[in-house]
Amino acid sequence: MAVLIDHPCVQHKLAIIRNVDTGHKRFRELATEITKFICYEALKNIKTKVVKVQTPVAEATCRKIDTDVVVVPILRAGVGMLEGILELVPTARVGFVGLYRDEETKKPVTYYERFPPQIKGGTCIIIDPMLATGGSTVATIDMLKEHGADSIVVICIVTCPEGIALVESKHPDVPIYAAAIDDRLDEKKYIVPGLGDAGDRLFGTSHKE
């Protein structure tokens, strides 16, 4: 299931982050802001518990999050979205997955993984600005489930039908939340119109800047 976050504030920021003239400093800021909006929607059904809180006036019945939240950025670009979620859920724990694409097989190869034990029984949020082919996302979901995770959501800024289809075919129980569902992948497997190379634009490693 893919959920498009079509809020005007998200779409306004998306227009700016897409712009080729947006520099890496502003790109990072926008990635944080957009991620926070998407995460807000993605966690609307997270498990809560009822608590009693004493206000200056009287006792109030309130709700607090009642599950561990584990954020899993896919290196390297996923790190650019991490701050947005941690601002929203400061107690979240963080795991990491590093993947690269084998030039011959075109399949993702893992070079790093580190997960906190709270993925078992907690809510895991996979973050990556671009869900393109879907291969890295599927590999990350596979790893999390192998380690005992059973509640997983994916948050990206931009995705496309090809990536959504692959994730849904392999893991139909994992929802995808995105600010944009773009047209397609080009021959180089870039999302069109997309953002370009999100990692380069986040960290200022592109030749343009």
> What is the average pLDDT value for the chain, to the nearest integer?
93
DSSP string, 2-41: EEE---HHHHHHHHHHH-TT--HHHHHHHHHHHHHHHHHH
Question: Coil, helix or strand for 145?
Answer: helix
Domains and CATH numbers, the chain: 2-203 (3.40.50.2020)
Per the DSSP assignment, residues forming a β-bridge with 155 are 127, 177
What band does 114 get if pLDDT is binned at 50, 70 and 90? Answer: very high
- Mean pLDDT along residues 5-21: 96
- Mean pLDDT along residues 68-83: 95
From residue 204, give the alpha-carbon distance in Å to each of 85, 126, 200, 208, 209. 22, 23, 6, 9, 7
| Angle (CA) 204 205 209, round 5° | 60
* pLDDT tens digits, one per residue of 143-201: 999 999 999 999 999 999 999 999 999 999 999 999 999 999 998 889 999 999 998 99
Task: Note whether 38 and 71 are within 8 A (CB).
Answer: no
d(CA 94, CA 153): 14
Q: How far is CA 135 from the centre of its chain?
A: 15
Q: Where are the alpha helices (DSSP H) in the chain?
A: 8-18, 24-42, 79-88, 135-146, 161-170, 198-203
pTM of this prediction?
Answer: 0.92
